[in-house]
Amino acid sequence: MSQAPKYISGEEVEKLLDLKELLNSIETALGNYSKGKDGGVVQPVRLVVPIEKHHGHLGVMPGYSSSDEALATKIVAFYPENKDLPTHQAWVLMQDPTNGSLNAIIDGVSITSIRTGIASAVATKHLANPNSRILALIGAGVQARSHFKALSLLQSFDEVRIFSRTRASAQKLAKEIGKTAKVCSSVEEAVEDADIITTVSFATTPILKAEWVKPGAHINAVGACRPDWRELESRLMQESVVYCDSRDACSQEAGDIILSECDVFAEIGEVINGEKQALWEKTTIFKSVGMAIEDVLSAKIVYEKYMHQLKQDSEYPA
Ligand SMILES: NC(=O)C1=CN([C@@H]2O[C@H](COP(=O)(O)OP(=O)(O)OC[C@H]3O[C@@H](n4cnc5c(N)ncnc54)[C@H](O)[C@@H]3O)[C@@H](O)[C@H]2O)C=CC1
Ligand SMILES: O=C(O)C1=NCCCC1
């Protein structure tokens, strides 16, 4: 008879997930994904159910990595207009790949937040100028925070510029970051001379223009995950070297790519595998829409550490 699944909360996820370990693990998984069948990653493009009446979406994201023996499905709801609840709510169902039984239900809000920042950090490691000093964050919510933490694993910044639609949210984040943070009054002001720009907003029409971006900057374009949503104007997409997390997913979901009709130079996994160049001296864009395999690997790390801790607690009770 199968055992009842464990429930692992967001607090526990935050305690158990080591960011450096996750960065290595996600980098390997992105590389495996881009190897196709040889990489052993199975990840269909997610199923998205629009809940038009309530201005929300439900995404279902299954994934399996045979080299990690990890199988999980994330269920994620995103409701940009939520005020008292988070705009994203998610759960990761972790299954035993050898027999299909459900091992754990893990908080997916924390996993989504942490793994998305880490995926951008992997791309930034390969695509940004190593001497980057100024970071611009466009949007000041959950992802802005996780991106600041993840990108800070690579380097420290002299200045972190923040612009958000609501100034109060930018001010709150600036206070958390401390003395290097500066609240800006426009996107243009925030990105002037910035080495790394990270767009993590809920914009549905372009907010970042080519003429404002320093040549050679690296942009992580993280928001706009629907085919008719965008954060970056067409000229910026067309004149930069565009990398993505998944060609299959971006060709169906990334409005920035679909509506600008820009070329995609490579998946970041192809760069990791040494099949495509990291043209970091040019203006580069990493367009992500989010990948199930990132959730799967995060969930595996969390679950294994959680079970190890349970075992230790039962062997050596306090
Ligand atoms: N690529 C990926 O893997 C993932 C992408 N996302 C996307 O990242 C974006 C941010 O997500 P969260 O931080 O969790 O959301 P959030 O709701 O916590 O924060 C959104 C922030 O963007 C600001 N904002 C909204 N519209 C704006 C506009 N037009 N211009 C400037 N700022 C604006 C809000 O004031 C808020 O500070 C969303 O588009 C979300 O769907 C989320 C998870 C994974
Ligand atoms: O990958 C994810 O998780 C998400 N991507 C786009 C927006 C919702 C969550």
> What is the whole-number distance in angstroms between the Cα of residue 198 and the centre of ligand 1?
11
76 CB within 6 A, ligand 2: yes
Q: Which two tokens stand for residue 108?
A: 């997916």
Identical fold at 6-112+293-315 and 128-290?
no
H or E element in which residue 37 lies:
none
Strands, sheet with 196-199, edge to edge from the N-terminal-most edge strand: 181-183, 159-163, 134-138, 196-199, 218-221, 284-287, 241-244, 266-267
- The CATH number given to 128-290 is 3.40.50.720
Q: What is the pLDDT of residue 1?
A: 61
Nearest to 199 by CA among 290, 112, 285: 285
290: CA distance to ligand 2 center in Å?
A: 5
Q: How far, in Å, is the centroid of ligand 1 from the Cα of 284? A: 21
Nearest CA to ligand 1 atom 24: 201
Q: Which two tokens stand for residue 87?
A: 């705009």
What is the reported pLDDT for 3? Answer: 84
DSSP state, 225? -
pLDDT of residue 2: 72
Q: Please state the atom number of ligand 1 nearest to the C-alpha of residue 294.
A: 3
Residue 102 makes CB contacts below 8 A (sequence gap 6+) with 2, 5, 93, 94, 95
Alpha-carbon span 207 to 196, nearest angstrom: 16
Q: Which atom of ligand 2 is nearest to the CA of 292?
A: 1
First to last CA, the chain: 30
Residue with CA closest to ligand 2 atom 5: 290
pLDDT of residue 28: 98
> Would you identify the CATH topology of the domain 6-112+293-315?
ornithine cyclodeaminase, domain 1 (3.30.1780)
Pocket flag, ligand 1, residue 249 (CB < 6 Å): no
- Distance separating alpha carbons of residues 32 and 38, to the nearest angstrom: 8
User: Which listed ligand is nearest to 87 at the C-alpha?
Assistant: 1
Residue 6 CA to its chain's centroid (Å)? 25
| Regions of the chain where pLDDT drops below 70 | 1
**pLDDT reported for residue 317:** 82
Domains in the chain: boundaries = 6-112+293-315, 128-290
Burial 76-111, CB ≥16 within 10 A → b, else e? bbbbeeeeeeebbbbbbbbbebeeeeebbebbbbbb
114 lines ligand 2 (CB under 6 A): no
Give the SS3 label for residue 30: helix
